[in-house]
Chain A
Amino acid sequence: MKLKKWTELEIGCVIPEGGTSQEFKTGDWRSERPIWHEDKCVQCYLCWIYCPDSAIIVENGKVTGIDYDFCKGCGICAYECPPKAGAIIMEREVK
């Protein structure tokens, strides 16, 4: 992305639109990535409820994966995933 010059900015550090967090991909902050295993998932939604970044993808009422554009790798989903299921495992992020 080409960075703007100071003369091209809105006065007063204003960001002149809403919902701009969509454009700010926080996925590259990750040092560990959650790996979701479809075969083990019991569809309890605990990961979806606890994820602080809305990075658990749910389609047609089913968990279908993880949005790596925004997942910061905090590991809360893996921690909350019921131990008997163990459907989310953290792995070292490989850049």
Chain B
Amino acid sequence: MIVARTGNEAMAEAMRQINPDVVAAYPITPATEIVQIFSGFVANGQVDTEYVAVESEHSAMSACVGAAAAGARVMTGTASQGLALMYEILYIAAGLRLPIVLCLVNRSLSSPINIHCDHSDSMGARDAGWIQILTERTQEAYDSVIQAVLIAEKALLPVMVTIDGFIISHAMENIELIDDRAVKEYIGQRSAKYSLLDVDKPFTVGGLDLQDYYFEHKMSEIDAMNHVLPVIEEVNKQFSQRFKRGYPILEEYRCLDAEVALLAMGSTVGTARIAVDELRQEGKKAGLVKLRVFRPFPVAMLKAALKKLKVVGVMDRSDSFSTNGGQLYIEARSILYDEPTKPLLANYVYGLGGRDISIEEIKEIYRQLFDIRNQGKVAAPITYYGVRS
């Protein structure tokens, strides 16, 4: 069924179809609608979910941890400061290997206070041990939330699926919904090895772990992350067989003969596709690499995609304040270190606080990349693109 939905509405719709056992959430712009619409489904009896209205995001994620340890299928949604307030519990959810799914609407972090899109919030959680899937548009977000349930439960790691604040969360798009029953069949039931509610099989969760065992438990978590990419591929493969659409971890758009390319995540990928198409009409060999999964970082895939190119512009919608550029640039640059042939890299930190990036501006960035190719060197590795100076 084709329907018109905003990103928030689509994520809430996916949650209704998933019918999780527990949702604990606190509303925050621009993700408010996700849990607001979902709480309507609860009030109308359209889902069986136990909805926990909490007093903060810290409590929301804490309730999710408890419910997931009880064996429940658990979801929540948040943005920006909300995710920041969850910070310490995010690590606990991952360390305890709890398959929680979080719908995140990417929004900048204070200060200064701002409600619009950038990726500072999810980047702040990049080392928390969560799988991070950054989507380009509403259809992908809806499909990814459904996939995330299975990814989380197979990998035994929490997953955040993100959409760009307002650009996707509040913009209407025609999307194809899956039948309720088909979603139910696809995701099946969660079967947890341990449940806190099973009083006949007592166990301890979250015990003290000192010098003798902490490292071993962390190693087990690191190992779990090492095995996530095949899980994402397998879940996506089954999804595409059933529903005739799917999403690679990394997509190379018009890269076959490309000389320069952008590497980007989120809704900017959609804008860059049009820029690439227009440049191609002008005969320019421009390509685009879309990174959909940022955690775990798809090292081998990205290395293979990047090393064929002469110049790559890395688009970061966040800054690391390391004086070494944005997070995607730092990581992309790092994986190329050992390669005998590698592209020249230029970092573009753009769009902070929701500053728009247009097709024309992206084409301007491509022109700069072609200049770099012609000159054979990167004069200024890090550019804060679009800032008034």
Q: Which A residues contact B (CB, under 8 angstroms)?
A: 3-7, 9, 11-20
Q: What's the nearest-Cβ distance from chain A to residue B90, in Å?
A: 15
Contact between A14 and B194, CB atoms less than 8 A apart? yes
- Residues of B contacting A5 in the complex (Cβ-Cβ under 8 angstroms): 216
Q: What's the nearest-Cβ distance from chain A to residue B350, in Å?
A: 39
- Residues of B contacting A15 in the complex (Cβ-Cβ under 8 angstroms): 203-205, 207
Contact between A12 and B96, CB atoms less than 8 A apart? yes
Q: What's the nearest-Cβ distance from chain B to residue A36, in Å?
A: 30
Q: What's the nearest-Cβ distance from chain B to residue A54, in Å?
A: 18
Q: What's the nearest-Cβ distance from chain A to residue B227, in Å?
A: 12
Contact with A along B211-229 (1 / 0, CB 8 A): 0110111011001100000
- Residues of A contacting B156 in the complex (Cβ-Cβ under 8 angstroms): 11-12
- Residues of A contacting B194 in the complex (Cβ-Cβ under 8 angstroms): 14, 16
Whether B202 sits at the interface, judged by CB under 8 Å, is yes
Contact with A along B78-113 (1 / 0, CB 8 A): 000000000000000001111000000000000000
Contact between B204 and A14, CB atoms less than 8 A apart? yes
Whether B206 sits at the interface, judged by CB under 8 Å, is yes
- Residues of A contacting B193 in the complex (Cβ-Cβ under 8 angstroms): 11, 14
- Residues of A contacting B207 in the complex (Cβ-Cβ under 8 angstroms): 13, 15
Question: How many chain B residues touch A (Cβ–Cβ < 8 Å)?
Answer: 23
Q: What's the nearest-Cβ distance from chain A to residue B325, in Å?
A: 34
Inter-chain CA distance A13–B224, complex, in Å, is 13
- Residues of A contacting B96 in the complex (Cβ-Cβ under 8 angstroms): 12-13
Max count, chain B CB within 10 A of own CB: residue among A12, A17, A20: A12
Q: What is the chain A residue whose CB lies nearest that of B215?
A: A6
Whether A11 touches B204, Cβ cut-off 8 Å, given contacts A3-B213, A16-B194, is no
- Residues of B contacting A4 in the complex (Cβ-Cβ under 8 angstroms): 213, 216
- Residues of B contacting A19 in the complex (Cβ-Cβ under 8 angstroms): 202
Inter-chain CA distance A19–B203, complex, in Å, is 9
Whether B209 sits at the interface, judged by CB under 8 Å, is yes
Contact between B95 and A13, CB atoms less than 8 A apart? yes
Inter-chain CA distance A24–B258, complex, in Å, is 63
Q: What's the nearest-Cβ distance from chain A to residue B192, in Å?
A: 10
Contact between B220 and A11, CB atoms less than 8 A apart? yes
Contact partner of A9 (CB less than 8 A), chosen from B95, B98, B205, B217, is B217
- Residues of A contacting B209 in the complex (Cβ-Cβ under 8 angstroms): 13
Inter-chain CA distance A88–B98, complex, in Å, is 48
Inter-chain CA distance A15–B202, complex, in Å, is 9
Q: What's the nearest-Cβ distance from chain B to residue A8, in Å?
A: 8
